[in-house]
Structures are given as structure tokens and as C-alpha cells.
Homo-oligomer: A and B are copies of this chain.
Amino acid sequence: MSETSSLAALFSPASIAVVGASRSASKVGGMVLANLVAAGYRGVVHPVNPAAARAGETLAGLTPLASSALLPPGVDLAVVCLPREQALPELALLAERGVRAAIVLAAGFRETGRQGFLAEQELKNTAESAGMLLLGPNSLGLINTACNLNASFAAGHPKPGGVSFFSQSGAMCVSVLDWAMGLGLGFSKFISLGNKARLNEADVLRALGDDPDTKVILGYCESVEDGQEFLAAAREVTAKKPVLLLKAGITPAGARAVSAHTGSASGSPAAYRAAFRQAGVIHVDEMAELFSLAQAFATQPLPAGPGLAVLTNAGGPGILAADACARTRLTLPRPSQATLARLAEALPGFASLYNPVDVLGDAGAERYRAGLALLLADAQIHSLLVILTPTAKSEPLKTARAVIDCACGPDNPEAKPVAACFLGGEGVRPAREALLKAGIPCYDFPEAAVGALSALYRQRGLQASRAASALPEASHTADAPWDDEAVAIISAAHAQGLLELGGVTALEVAHAAGLPVLTTGLARTSAEAVRLAGEIGLPVSLNLALREGDAAGAAPHSGGRGAPFARLHSAGAVRNAFLTLTNRAARQRPEASVTGCLVQAAAGTPQSGFELVVGFTRDPQFGPLLSFGLAGVGSELLGDISYRLAPLTPTDAREMLREVRFYPLLRGVDGGAVVSLRALERLLLGVSRLALRAPRLAGAQFAPVLAGAEGVFVAGARLALA
């Protein structure tokens, strides 16, 4: 839904109608009613069940109504527990009665094909014209622990807490709910979005962003309904609280499975990753990771820096933690001299004092307590991981209490995050439970613990960079030195029915769009080449020009700058090059339609540096998706391309450069800039602008972009028209 209406009627209803309420525990209408009662909802509940009403029965002690038409005015929420065919007319009836919000649980809509799609449209239209909030269809329902509301047919009710979870998949809701209850983790809201006919992830994100009970937002999504809307909502919310999303279908195979499952085309994986990054969302890759990160985010503060201390009673798991650490941005700093001295006093002689700090296999709780207190006081240390392996001398439960005392008491005045990893089975179970109950995340394996602490640190970085950088501003696109010439060329080409622009014309568009383009002319004869070279000024480079629409023709400089016909210094060389190139092409590629040669300025172009490619495509979900990499097939093969969505902020442009693995080559290894990074950033911003201003462009590829310390020059372009 487009308007950001308050979701209070849905989340905190004063009265609820359960349409299709039942006394049978095996029916959805029975489960919902039972859940509502069992969770202790304190508002008014109106069961609706014609048969029960006729028979004069009560349902869960309440007198059922014979029809939704008999509902009192002003009911906040109706949970529709009827199959698809009945749900449709029922929703209309509820709308008439002025019900403010509805949850439709029935499946059989969009996910089942054309007929279901039409039924879903009808549902949506009914709710929309009545201004009624609609969750679902194909939803599992909703839980809000703040008002003891369980309007779902999922089993169980989590304890109150700061985590809220929304999910497109009911199965994922069930799993997370089960897991949360098993761990005793506190939740605020559980929202099963279902098919998202009206309410989608953007609406729910905004509502949870404004919800004072929600400290951390977890989500599972397979697709988003409106990419730009999602991006805007996520940007707003991540400035306030952490958002962790598990996106299913983030690989091509997964994306195909999403289409089969939801019946909707999803955006490209690259676009999703870019959107999450630009919105400050923490992108979670696996189900296990969602769970382990959620535990840490729900209970722990963010660390002030990367320094992690590992305190362990066994070497092996400590080393595995160190290995895991090396795969993140966390560091394992050596404790300060003062800390080392105090550790040496507090721990036995053979204990390893460096980091990981090994208190040895015979350590009881007090040795842990002493080590922990000292490490918490060390300024180099920003977060802590406590590892325990059961031994003959270990005291798991007492150690858990020592960890809780230190982490939650006066020993931790700076509120450094603390996590635990207690290995082993039954023997450490009470210790684990004590830790979890006290709000210390406890993991089965050291790697998961390090992963979670590292995510806390990443979130810290996200918040810091968010605070430092501005959001994209209208001025960024409005003030561009843009005239209508580029659009005019594109329109003219479009009118001619062209699908692709290359060669000189494409470079003209780029030039008109304010991109730094090398002066280029098309020579059909060698004489024309010599004349053009004179006009442009020597040295020039020559490249074969093929007919528009012929792919190869759109990429001049295919031979690279090291090719024989780059940087020609005399008219004779230009003439020879023209003849050689065209003759060779006629011999070697008789199928290509050679129109002549592109003559291109070579003066002032970088003598050393890189050939790069900058381009964009239009993602069906998120709009223009910019890409940046090395020219040639290499970038794609190496998977070394960075992506961002337009509009690009200056920060986005800077990050796009830094994200590729070859960035150190651009920056220069010894400090001397190999490539003008500022000029490259300007180019990226210019392409972002062009993508937004010229909707007729389906995509563009600027390659090669000659990049050196002297500047950045677009030497070739290829534009796809929509």
C-alpha cells in the first residue's frame, strides 16, 4: 500500500472479530480463537460462526455472532479464517461494517496462478476502497506481545522482548517462533506478510521503525513489492535501529525457485545486494546466521571498535575463534602491558596471556571471573567471547554466573558486548540456559559467536557511515549541466527503430550527458581519416567501426591501448592504419559490415593506468543498477564488479570504487595515485544521472574508460534503447 497509515488497528486492536471461529482445535478458526484466549488478550473478542450461533453454543466461553453483519460498529481487526471463496464476500461485508483492519489467512491466491491472482486483486480492491488495512492473504497471522495479542494459527506465544520479525513465508515464521521460544528470546512482534496484497515489507518496516517496543528488526523476504519504496523505507529505518534481512532467492537458482513459489518476478540478486547495502540493511545469507545474529542484536550493545578478546579454557576452540576472527574485520589485540601484568598475577603460570587468553583446563569459575574483569577494563578490547569446554575441573553453571555478573555489572561500565560459547551437551545445558535468561547470547560453536560479534561491529560501522553521509538529494540530479541534447539523440534513434547505439553516436550522447568523452570521428575512407586526424589533432588512435547494431562495432579500442594502431603520430601512419584495419577486417571477418574507422584523440590520454567499464541496466524491481569493473571479460569471470542503485550518493560512488578487489591497484600501492579517483567518482555520478534522466535508455555500457592519474576518458559506448 502506498500511504503510510498507522498500523495501530492491526498491531494493537481494542476489539477483534474472529470470522470463522471454531471450537475444533484442528481448524484454523479454532486455533486462532484458542491462541487469542491463551495469550491473554484483554480486548473484546467477537467470534463469528453462523452454525454455532444457530445452535446456541459458546466458543471459548464467548457467544458467537451469526454473521459479520451483526458486528458492532468500530471493530478494529477481523481475522478471516475462511477458505478463499468465502473470504472474498466476507471481506466486503467487513468493509461495510467499518472494520479497520483484516488478516486473511486463506491460501490459494496469487501463488496458484491466474485465477488466484484475480481473486487477490479483488481482495485488494475491496480493502483499498474501504481504506481497510489488509495483512495477507496466505498469512499465518500476527503476534504482538506488548498487548498479549496472538492473532495467528501458529503454536505458542513468545515472551516479550525487543526483537520484531516479519516474514513472507509462514514456514519461516513457525521456525523462528519455535526457536525463539526454545531459547527464551523475547519478541515484540511477529508478522506473517503472506502474499502482501496490500501491506508489504516497506509498510511493516516503517511501522516497526516507529515502534518503541522494537529494538531490532528481523525479516525474511523472497521478493519486495516495490523496490524504490522498500529502499526508501529501509533507509529511514536503519538510521534508527538495526535491520537484518534474510533474502531467499539471492542466487539465480534461488530466484527461479522464488518465481515458482510466489508467482512474481523478482529483481536481480545484484540489485538486492546493492539495495541492502545502500539502505544500511545487514544482509544475512543463511537461516542459521539469522538466528545467531538475532541473539546478539537482541541482547548486546554495539562495540566501540574491532578489538575482540577471547577467554577460553581450551586451546582448540580458541584457535578456531581466532581463525573465524581473521575472516571478519574484528581483530585480536594483545592486551595492554598493565592488563598483561594483572593477568599474570591472576592466572596460573602456564596460562597463555595473549589473545586468546587461555585460563587452562582446570579453571574454575573464579579464574574466568578474574580474567573477564581484567579484559573488560582494557581499552584495547571492545568485545568479549567466553569459551568453556567441560573438563573434570570446570564449573559451567558457576562460570555462567561469573560471566553474567561481569557483563551485566559494574565490571562493564562501558557496556562492552559479551558473548559465550559453551561447548558440549547435557553437562552445560543449565549454564547455557542461565546465560540466555540473563541476556548473554550463547552459541554452540566458536565460529558462530565470532560471526555474531562481528555483525555487531559492522552495524556500528554502518551507523557511523550513515551519520557521516547525506542521503541522495534532489539537487544532485537537478543541478546537473544537462541539456536536452542527449535525450534528443536518443529519441531520434528510437524513432528510427534502432535498438542499440554505438560508435560516434553513442559517444555523442555521453558527451551531451556531461561525461568526459574522447573526441571521436567516423572516417569512411583513409583520406577522411587523415582529415579527421588533422581536425582532432595528432596523435590519434584508430579502431574499426562496424554498422550500428553490430555488437563489435560498438566497442572501439578492442585491441587495447597496447594495440598497434593506438597513438599514431603522423598522417602516413593514420593512412596505413586505416588501410590495414579495413583490409584485415574484410579478410578475417567478411560477415561484418565495416563502415570505416573511428578516429579518436590520443593526446592527453593516460599513458599508463587501466581500462575500465562503467554501465547500467534497469532492474525490474529496483530501477537503474550501476556497475563498475575492469574492461574485458576478466571482471565478470573474476566476479569483481561492484553494483549500486541510482540515484548514487557521493558516498555510494566512493564505496563502489573501494568495493572491487582491484581497488588497491587504482589507488596505487605506494601512495602515488595511479588513477584519479575523484574523476572516476564524477563519472559514476554522471552515469547515475543519465540513467535517471533518460528512461528510454534500457542500459548503457561505457567501455573502455581510459583511467590514469591525468584523468578519466570515455573511449567507447554502447547504449541499449527500450
Contact = CB atoms under 8 A, between A and B. Distances in A.
Interface of A: 26, 28, 31, 107-108, 111-113, 153, 155, 167-172, 174-175, 178-179, 181-182, 220, 222, 246, 248-254, 256-258, 260-262, 285-288, 313-320, 322-327, 332, 350, 352, 354, 356, 358, 361, 389-392, 423-427, 444-448, 561-562, 633-634, 637-640, 661-662, 664-665, 669
B322 A446 contact: no
Nearest to A448: B288
A445 B287 contact: yes
B389 A323 contact: no
A251 B171 contact: no
Contact of A326 (B253, B317, B662, B664): B253
Contacts of A356: 257, 260
A352 B260 contact: yes
B174 A423 contact: yes
A257 B665 contact: no
A171 B254 contact: no
Contact of A323 (B250, B320, B445): B250
Contacts of A665: 633-634, 637
Contacts of A108: 350
Query: Which of A178, A220, A634 has the most C-beta atoms of chain B within 10 angstroms of its own C-beta?
Result: A178
Contacts of A392: 26, 28, 31, 153
Contacts of A286: 320, 324, 445, 447
Nearest to A389: B171
Query: Which of A170, A286, A332 has the most C-beta atoms of chain B within 10 angstroms of its own C-beta?
Result: A286
Given A444-B288, A445-B287, A633-B669, A171 B315 contact: yes
Contacts of A251: 322-323, 325-327
29 contacts: A108-B350, A111-B315, A111-B350, A155-B427, A167-B316, A171-B313, A171-B315, A171-B389, A178-B390, A178-B427, A222-B316, A222-B319, A248-B316, A249-B322, A249-B323, A251-B327, A253-B325, A254-B319, A257-B356, A260-B354, A261-B316, A261-B319, A261-B352, A285-B323, A288-B447, A562-B562, A633-B665, A637-B662, A637-B664
A349 B358 CA distance: 60
A317 B171 contact: yes
Contacts of A174: 389-391, 423-424
A31 B391 CA distance: 12
Listed from nearest, the 9 A-B pairs whose CB atoms lie closest are A169-B316, A171-B314, A251-B326, A562-B562, A261-B315, A254-B323, A171-B389, A248-B319, A178-B425
A619 to B, nearest CB: 19
A631 to B, nearest CB: 13
A250 B354 CA distance: 19
Given A318-B261, A424-B175, A253 B562 contact: no
Contact of A319 (B257, B561, B633): B257
A284 to B, nearest CB: 11
A71 to B, nearest CB: 26
B639 A661 contact: yes
Contacts of A107: 361
Nearest to A353: B260
A317 B172 contact: yes
A362 to B, nearest CB: 9
Contacts of A664: 633, 637
B637 A361 contact: no
Given A107-B361, A258-B319, A633-B664, 8 more contacts: A167-B316, A175-B389, A248-B316, A249-B322, A251-B323, A287-B446, A288-B445, A288-B447
Contacts of A391: 170-171, 174
Contact of A661 (B26, B113, B175, B637): B637
Nearest to A262: B315
Contacts of A170: 314, 316, 361, 391
A423 B661 CA distance: 38
A578 B155 CA distance: 84
Nearest to A607: B564
Contacts of A425: 178-179, 181-182
A358 B327 CA distance: 36
A679 B353 CA distance: 52
A40 to B, nearest CB: 22
Nearest to A446: B287
Nearest to A357: B260
A326 B254 contact: yes
Contacts of A31: 392
Nearest to A358: B261
A721 to B, nearest CB: 27
Query: Which of A28, A257, A637 has the most C-beta atoms of chain B within 10 angstroms of its own C-beta?
Result: A257
Contacts of A167: 316
A361 B350 CA distance: 57
Contacts of A313: 171
A246 B446 CA distance: 14
A118 to B, nearest CB: 15
A252 B171 CA distance: 41
A637 B666 CA distance: 12
A240 to B, nearest CB: 27
Contacts of A662: 634, 637-638
Nearest to A167: B316
Contacts of A562: 561-562
A482 to B, nearest CB: 37
A183 to B, nearest CB: 10
Contacts of A350: 108, 111-113
Contact of A315 (B222, B447, B669): B222
Contacts of A253: 322-323, 325-326, 332
B320 A287 contact: yes
Contacts of A354: 260
Nearest to A424: B178
A661 B182 CA distance: 44
A172 B316 contact: yes
Contacts of A314: 169-171
A222 B356 CA distance: 15
Nearest to A638: B661
A325 B256 CA distance: 12
Contact of A287 (B246, B447, B633): B447
A319 B250 CA distance: 9
A25 to B, nearest CB: 9
A254 B155 contact: no
